[in-house]
Amino acid sequence: MCGIAGFSGFGEDYRHRRRYYEEILEDMAASVRHRGGDQEGTYLSGHGGLAHARLSIRDVTGGRQPIVRRRDGCEYAISYNGEIYNAGELKAELAGKGYTFETTTDTEVILLGYMDRGTDFFQKLNGIYAFAIWDGTLERLVLVRDRAGVKPLFYAIRAGELVFGSEPKALFAHPLVTPEADLDSFREVFGIGPARTSGHGVFRDVWELEPGQLALFDRDGLKKAFYWRLEAREHTETYPETTAHTAFLVRDAVERQMVSDVPVCAFLSGGVDSSIVTAIAAGCLGREGGRLNTFSFDFTGNKRYFQSNSFQPEQDRPYVDIMLEAHPELRHTYLMCTEEELAEELETSVAAKDLPGMADVDASMLYFCRLVKQHNKVALTGECADEIFGGYPWFYRKELLEGEGFPWSRSMEMRELLLTDECRRALHLGEYSMAQYRESVAQTPALPGETGEELRRRQIGWLNLRWFMQTLLDRMDRASMWSGLEARVPFADHRIIEYLYNVPWEMKYREGEEKALLRDACGHLLPQALMHRKKSPYPKTYSPVYQALVAKKFEDILANPNAPIRPLIDREKARAFAEAPAELGKPWFGQLMAGPQLIAYLVMVNQWMERWHLSL
């Protein structure tokens, strides 16, 4: 992957102050250098500028960006972050029309495809991507984000100029964009976080393209449109046909995502999803005489402190070992994180994300990705299967399925617990969260006449794709790209999303087992002991040492009169809670964020406010 950034405006010709604007582009590229430290480049025209920090995966020596092509005296330029998995087929089509290629990159395929068919070409893309194209013929900037929202793309408009980047920090490297917060910023952080409302950049007047969306910016301003939308369709296949169709889609997605000019590895948690991806990838490499590197993650002493609960019933390590016994060809590395390392990474993860995140879930992924990058540049993950196949308890547990509000974040009690009365009255967190929920539910793609439980299943599936999956994809992107590691997500292939969204629930959940369809479709790839393993989410530490370290960080913040979060927190309640964080197993977000994670989240909020000089 890479980091992209740039700007467009029509108030002046940038070339009249070329060096000034080139320096801005260089600063913007430097701000996202961690996403790709192999090369940097810039492009400047009269009304558009592009910056690029490259992680070289395809055409390592010849794929420098931005790529520029000329036609009829006009220039077209692209800065691109992502991977196109059907680039070979698209390149053949374009070559058949007479186009010639100077590189073997998928970047050039996108640019020439746009020159051939305009924005209609984007509907042909299969991949994960965010890119910007300067069109010198029409004098416009084109911004595009992939269908699933795997790759980020933020933007802001200041003084008539559009500024964009892979991360908010790229925008803040432009002199027109200053990080600021308003009431909605803090409503997002306290009422929705660590999720975000789709398209909302949390900072004041900072936005993000939504999944499947494109934007055109020219002299008439900004126009946005969806080149792809999820649609409800009637499912007519039998269960055996559905199983076979699913098996093909999963295998094809993984095999397509093996394309790379550098070695690919896989995250292997011991769960069903990552084990399926690993088995397919290992087989693909094996046919070429190669061996797959795999990595699993855990915490020092977790075996001693692990506490089984309804959300996390068992540990992963025994199942990793079972998978390795079944696939001795794998080259596996067990990665461990200490309590001290985990606590220290909380602040780093805020720097990586520019926002508070999923506490130690973000921090540990950031740490592990740094270690994986020492071995590989590209990793396959099992992310998104639970959102698409219905693996989370709120898909099938009655008390979580029913009722209003986000099922992974139903109660505001824990979120408001430590805030001052004044802060609660100003933010109205419950009202804000419910408004976002209702607006999103109203957009659910459904068939005419769907009502009752049938419609509710649609809504839960839609909410997971638009909210919970986006949160996890944000986490994976920032954690991996902080170390220049490209994380690919085969289950987020848009063909899988489109197909599974319309598969009836009774095919996904059979005989009391979640993700039964996925198990039946791909179970032949798994050891028998893994076939019916219950869902167990990404590991977290249960160590009291970690809890004490985080509590100490929080207490230091409370004792610091200059800590920016301090005016928002009821210090007496906070001190009591930090000394004995309750509800270790009852999450306030998702399945992993309980009492200790609330404290860690507030530590991250303080770091976010301090880093960008924010206040309420």
- Mark out the alpha helices in 257-359 (DSSP H runs): 272-286, 302-305, 317-326, 339-353
pLDDT band at 595 (very low <50, low <70, confident <90, very high): confident
Determine contact, residues 605/599, Cβ cutoff 8 Å: no
Reported pTM: 0.95
Could you read off the pLDDT of 473-505 as tens digits, one per residue? 999 999 999 999 999 999 999 999 999 999 999
**Annotated catalytic residue 337:** no
pLDDT band at 588 (very low <50, low <70, confident <90, very high): confident
Determine contact, residues 63/30, Cβ cutoff 8 Å: no
User: Following DSSP, what letter does each residue of 23-72 receive, concatenated?
Assistant: HHHHHHHHHTGGG--SEEEEEE-SSEEEEEEE---SSTTT--SSEEEEET
Out of 2, 265, 369, 423, which one is annotated catalytic?
2
Burial per residue of 509-541, b for 16 or more beta-carbon CB atoms within 10 angstroms, e otherwise: beeebbbbbbbbbbbebbbeebbebebbbbbbb
The Cα–Cα gap between 614 and 180 comes to: 6
pLDDT value at residue 58: 62
Q: What is the mean pLDDT of the chain?
A: 93
Query: What is the average per-residue pLDDT within 383-403?
Result: 92
Q: Lay out the sheet containing 331-337: strands in order across.
A: 331-337, 293-299, 264-267, 378-380, 486-488
Could you read off the pLDDT of 163-184 as tens digits, one per residue? 999 999 999 999 999 999 999 9
Q: What's the full length of the chain, in residues?
A: 616
Least confident of 120-129, 427-436, 535-544, 581-590: 581-590
The CATH number corresponding to 2-226 among 3.40.50.2300, 3.60.20.10, 3.40.50.300, 2.60.40.3880 equals 3.60.20.10
Could you read off the pLDDT of 65-109 as tens digits, one per residue? 999 999 999 999 999 999 999 999 999 999 999 999 999 999 999
Q: How far is CA 101 from CA 95, 124, 222, in A?
A: 8, 19, 31
Strand partners, 299: 337
Instruction: Show Cβ contacts of residue 345 under 8 Å, excluding neighbours closer than 6 positions.
Output: 363, 364, 366, 367
Could you read off the pLDDT of 267-303 as tens digits, one per residue? 999 999 999 999 999 999 999 889 999 999 988 877 6
Does residue 583 carry a pLDDT above 80? Answer: no
CATH code 3.40.50.150 for 239-399+470-531: no
Show me where the domains of the chain are located.
2-226, 239-399+470-531, 544-612
Amino acid letter for position 582: A
The structure tokens 């909380």 sit at 346
Q: How far is CA 593 from CA 16, 206, 252, in A?
A: 52, 27, 34
